[in-house]
Amino acid sequence: MRRTLAAVSCGAALLFPMVAVTPARAATTVTNGGFESSGTGVASPPGWTTSGTASADYTETGGRSGSYRLTHWSSSAYTVKTSQTLTGLAAGPYTLSLYVKNGGGQGSVYAGLENCGGPAAQTALPVTADWLKLVVSANVSGGSCTISLYSSASAGNWASFDDVSFAAGASNLSIKGADVSTLAKSEAYGGVYYGSDGARRDALSVLRSSGANYARLKVWVRPADGYNDKAHVLAMARRVKALGMGLLVDFHYSDRWADPGTQTKPASWASLPFDQLRQAVYDHTYDVLNALKAQGTTADMAQIGNEINDGMLWEDGRASANFGRLAQLLNAGSDAVRAVSSSTKVVVHLAEGGNNSLFRWFFDNARNNGVRYDVIGASYYSYWHGTLAAMQANLLDIRSRYGKPVFLAETAYPFTTGNDDGEPNIITAATPYTGYPATQAGQAAMFRDVLSTAQAAGALGAFYWEPTWTAVTGNGWDPENPGSGNGWDNQALFDFNNRPTAAMAQFAHP
């Protein structure tokens, strides 16, 4: 991903199962889970118990699938919990599923499972004007478990809940990753990183200890600055695997950034006839992955192209002009992956994670042209790619339509509107996405809610894009210009004092 201001869209044994949700053993009925048993304006609806500000808990019209929903709201400050205890439960994991809307602004608002025999499990409600699915899992050991819908808010803040269900089985993210492609160059040019205790530490170790379990590394063919080439990917892969992390290798098939607006061939491939270009894709992919395997750091996933909305290696591989040729290039990469390791999963990755029509167009064509791949990756930047609900709907649709696991290959959010170098920031708005200010708290909430939204869609997980790309002289965005700066420093997960931002803790998301 290197985005410009005009057009910016940028795992050791396999660490994730290809299904992110533990199969349910049996459903357990929630009484009045759709809030249809009471009509409108009823406080503490049948089947549910209210504690706290009773008047702030009531049903109203506008349900997701029926006529009614539960809403928390009051004209004065309030704290309210709507709960229901289920009994007769066999020991084991269970998952609460529900749909929510939320206007934001609360001190705390969550859905959770409590008094289940172990620690309470909660998921915060994202700010969303559209119905959004959430899930939260807990282990039950005492035969009962309480569903809790909780709000603590100022006057006028609201949250709505509907279609609450509870079933045996667990839902967890198997990928909580970080793209650390710029880290080696940062370190070489003097970049330093600290833990939250102020002690100098290895940035990759900070990410790992925070809960990150996967690393993503891009590879260019012959980059002008010498970084993000095979040698640097090999060196970083040794560090990644030594920490027990999974490894995703992101092939750009370029000497520099490849994204939806730029898919430039490597200079050494520019004049190749198509058959030789296809062979070059195979040879380059095989060379990098086989070298990784030879040193004992086999890639867990390999991405054939980066944000290839309209293909790659233009003009030969432009999807809108000749998808058949793009399919041949993708299959050359895919075949190289499988020739090196049958365990390495092949990823096809698009940007615009909330754009379902794009994904349907591309992957319908991929199916019709026989593209061989295992996993679908999507970039999702909330300030560019639509609402959280649109992203979730897209992930749900493409999982079902194509029968492939899905994950977010890129996401990020700013923690400040400040700038730590002379390069203008790519994102400068005080509130780039409604309800999430460009603050440490806002960045943490957005990363948390992206993870929760993807989890409820059944996604494998997500990668935070370039959390270590702090402002370091010499480590700018342009590999051909040593004097270029970094427009991403306000979206890293290390602040301008090189300490972890509050969002770093979200890698611990279950």
CB 6: neighbour CB atoms within 10 A?
6
Buried b (16+ CB within 10 A) or exposed e, 326-365: bbbbbbbbbbbbbebbeebbbbbbbbbbbbbebbebbbeb
Residue type, 192: V
503 phi, psi to nearest 5 deg: -70, -25
Pairing of strands 121-124, 108-114: antiparallel
Q: What residues are labeled active site?
A: 307, 410
For 474, phi and psi rounded to 5 degrees? 100, -20
Torsion of CA 40, 163, 96, 102, to 10 degrees: -70
Q: Decide: helix, strand or coil at residue 270.
A: coil
Closest listed residue to residue 326, CA positions, set 370, 359, 360: 370
The residues, any chain, with a CB within 8 Å of residue 215's CB and separated by 6 or more, are 11, 177, 178, 179, 180, 204, 236, 240, 245, 246, 247, 248
SS3 54: helix
Alpha-carbon distances, residue 193 vs 185, 202, 206, 301, 480 (angstroms): 13, 7, 9, 28, 26
Gyration radius (Cα) of the chain, Å: 24
Is residue 95 helix, strand or coil?
strand
The pairing of beta strand 27-28 with beta strand 159-168? antiparallel
Token code pair at residue 352: 């615009």
| Nearest residue to 215 (alpha-carbon basis) of 239, 191, 185 | 239
Cβ distance 443 to 413 under 8 Å? yes
